[in-house]
Amino acid sequence: MAVVLFTSSESFMESDPRACERAEVTIRDYIEGTYDTLRHREGVEFAFFSNGAWELLDGRRFSDWVVEV
């Protein structure tokens, strides 16, 4: 199991109306990261890179992400 932590810089929070400060997504299977998507379990997308930010499927946007193992 791993936790993907999404965070946003202060400047990003000021510039993007859908920016969120922090979110955690728990992944039980593998994590696959490409240039523009994050996937788990047989290629199921849970975040994508759009217009300079990482976006979760519910629309929350973040400037950065990291995996906590």
Alpha-carbon dihedral of residues 51, 54, 55, 57, nearest 10 degrees?
A: 130
Over the chain (69 residues), the average pLDDT of each successive run of 10 is 94 97 93 94 93 96 92
Q: In this predicted structure, what is the pLDDT of residue 29?
A: 84
Q: Which residue range is the domain that position 49 belongs to? A: 2-68
Domain count, the chain: 1
Contacts of 4 (CB under 8 A, 6+ apart): 24, 25, 26, 27, 31, 38, 46, 47, 65, 66, 67, 68
Q: In this predicted structure, what is the pLDDT of residue 1?
A: 86
Report pTM.
0.91
